[in-house]
Amino acid sequence: MTPEHRVALVTGAGRRVGRAIALRLARGGWSVAVHYHRSADEAGRVVEACRALGVRAEALSADLADSEACRDLVIATQASFGALGCLVNNASIFERRPLDALSVADIDRHLAVNLRAPLLLAQEAADALRESEGLIVNLSDAAVTRPWPDHLAYMISKGGLDTLTAGLARALAPRVRVVGIAPGVAAWPEDYDEAARARLTARIPLGRAGTPEDIAELVAYLLTHGGYISGTTIPVDGGRHVV
Ligand X SMILES: NC(=O)c1ccc[n+]([C@@H]2O[C@H](COP(=O)([O-])OP(=O)(O)OC[C@H]3O[C@@H](n4cnc5c(N)ncnc54)[C@H](OP(=O)(O)O)[C@@H]3O)[C@@H](O)[C@H]2O)c1
Q: Which residues of this protein are in contact with ligand X, per CB under 6 A?
A: 12, 14-18, 36-39, 63-65, 90-94, 113, 139, 141, 183, 185-187
CA distances from 215 to 5, 139, 144, 183, 199 (A): 22, 9, 17, 7, 22
What's the min distance (Å) between Cβ of 81 and ligand X?
19
Which residue among 36, 154, 221, 228 is the active-site one? 154
Q: Pairing mode, if any, of strands 31-36 and 7-10?
A: parallel
Q: What is the closest distance, in whole angstroms, from the C-beta atom of residue 4 to ligand X in the complex? A: 28
Q: Cα(137)–Cα(87) distance, rounded to whole angstroms?
A: 6
Nearer residue to ligand X within complex by CB, 31 or 89? 89
Q: In the complex with ligand X, which residue's Cβ is closer, 25 or 132?
A: 25
Alpha helices in 9-84 (DSSP H): 16-27, 40-52, 67-81
What 3-state class would DSSP assign to 151?
strand
Assign 228 to helix, strand or coil.
coil
Annotation says 154 is catalytic? yes
For residue 174, whether the previous peptide bond is cis, meaning omega lies within 30 degrees of 0, is yes
Within the chain, where are the H helices? 16-27, 40-52, 67-81, 104-111, 117-132, 152-172, 194-201, 212-224
**Residue with smaller CB distance to ligand X, 2 or 242:** 242
Nearest residue to ligand X, using CB?
Answer: 12
CB of 175 to ligand X, least distance (A): 25
What is the closest distance, in whole angstroms, from the C-beta atom of residue 138 to ligand X in the complex?
8
Give the shortest CB-28-to-ligand X separation in angstroms: 19
In the bound state with ligand X, the residue whose beta carbon lies nearer, of 79 and 192, is 192
Residues in the chain: 243
Identity of the residue, 44 or 131, whose beta carbon is nearer to ligand X in the bound complex: 44
Mind telling me the catalytic residues? 154
